[in-house]
C-alpha cells in the first residue's frame, strides 16, 4: 500500500452506493436527516449553508458543495484520494487535513476529523452536501 507525503494511505476508503442508486423519497428523507445532523454537530458555526440556515464564516461555504466537490477532485493541487464528489465530501468530513482548501491553510479554526460520527449521520451529511448544487 502506497502512502502520500503526509503518511496517509493512498488507498481510498470504501464508498457507499452512489446517490443516484437511491430512490428519490429516501434521498429526500436522508437530506432532511443530514440537515438535522448538520445543526446537531454544529457544522454551521464555521460553514455557511443556506439550506440549514447557517452563516458560519471561518471555513469554506457548503452552498453548492456537490458542484464544488466535483471541481475539487479535478483540481491539479488536490491531495486527497477521492475520485467522486461523494467520496470527496466523505473524505473531507473524516480526514479534513488530507486536502485543505486554498486560503484556509493558515486558519486558527482548523476542521477536526469527524471520525466519531455514526454511519447514519455521516451518510446523511454526505447526502445533504452532495445535493447542494
3-state secondary structure of 20: helix
Range of the domain at 122: 23-131
Query: Alpha-carbon distance 30 to 111, whole Å?
Result: 24
> Cα–Cα distance between 107 and 84 in angstroms, integer?
26
Percent of the chain at pLDDT > 90 equals 74
Residue 124 lies in a domain: yes
pLDDT value at residue 84: 98
**Residue 2, C-alpha cell as written in the block:** 502506497
Closest by CA to 81, choosing from 66, 105, 97, 98, is: 98
In CATH, what number is assigned to the domain containing residue 79? Answer: 1.10.760.10
| Per-residue confidence (pLDDT) for residue 2, from 0 to 100 | 44
pLDDT of residue 106: 86
If phi over 0 gives left and psi between -120 and 50 gives alpha, with beta otherwise, what is residue 7?
A: left
CA 8 – CA 6 distance, rounded (Å): 6
Render pLDDT for 19-28 as a digit per residue (tens, 0 to 9): 555 578 898 9
pLDDT value of position 92: 98
- For residue range 49-104, what is the model confidence (pLDDT) as tens digits? 999 999 998 999 999 999 999 999 999 999 999 999 999 999 999 999 999 999 99
Q: Is residue 93 part of a domain?
A: yes
Distance, first Cα to last Cα, the chain: 35
Would residue 13 count as lying in a domain? no
pLDDT at 18: 56
Look at residue 17 in the predicted model and tell me its pLDDT: 59
In a domain, 89, yes or no: yes
Residue 38 lies in a domain: yes
pTM of the entire predicted model: 0.81
Domain membership flag for residue 12? no
Q: Cell 429526500 identifies what position?
A: 28
Question: Is 117 part of a structural domain of the chain?
Answer: yes
Residue 7 lies in a domain: no
Number of domains in the chain: 1
Amino acid at each position: 500500500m502506497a502512502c502520500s507525503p503526509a503518511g496517509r494511505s493512498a488507498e481510498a476508503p470504501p464508498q457507499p452506493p452512489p446517490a443516484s442508486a437511491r430512490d428519490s423519497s429516501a434521498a429526500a428523507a436522508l437530506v432532511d436527516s443530514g440537515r438535522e445532523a448538520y445543526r446537531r454537530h454544529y457544522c454551521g458555526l464555521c460553514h455557511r449553508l443556506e439550506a440549514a440556515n447557517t452563516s458560519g464564516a471561518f471555513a469554506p461555504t457548503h452552498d453548492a458543495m456537490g458542484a464544488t466537490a466535483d471541481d475539487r477532485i479535478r483540481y491539479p493541487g488536490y491531495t486527497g484520494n477521492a475520485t467522486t464528489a461523494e467520496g470527496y465530501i466523505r473524505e473531507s468530513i473524516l480526514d479534513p487535513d488530507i486536502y485543505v482548501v486554498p486560503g484556509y491553510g493558515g486558519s486558527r479554526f482548523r476542521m477536526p476529523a469527524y471520525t466519531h460520527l455514526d454511519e447514519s449521520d455521516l451518510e446523511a451529511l454526505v447526502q445533504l452536501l452532495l445535493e447542494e448544487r
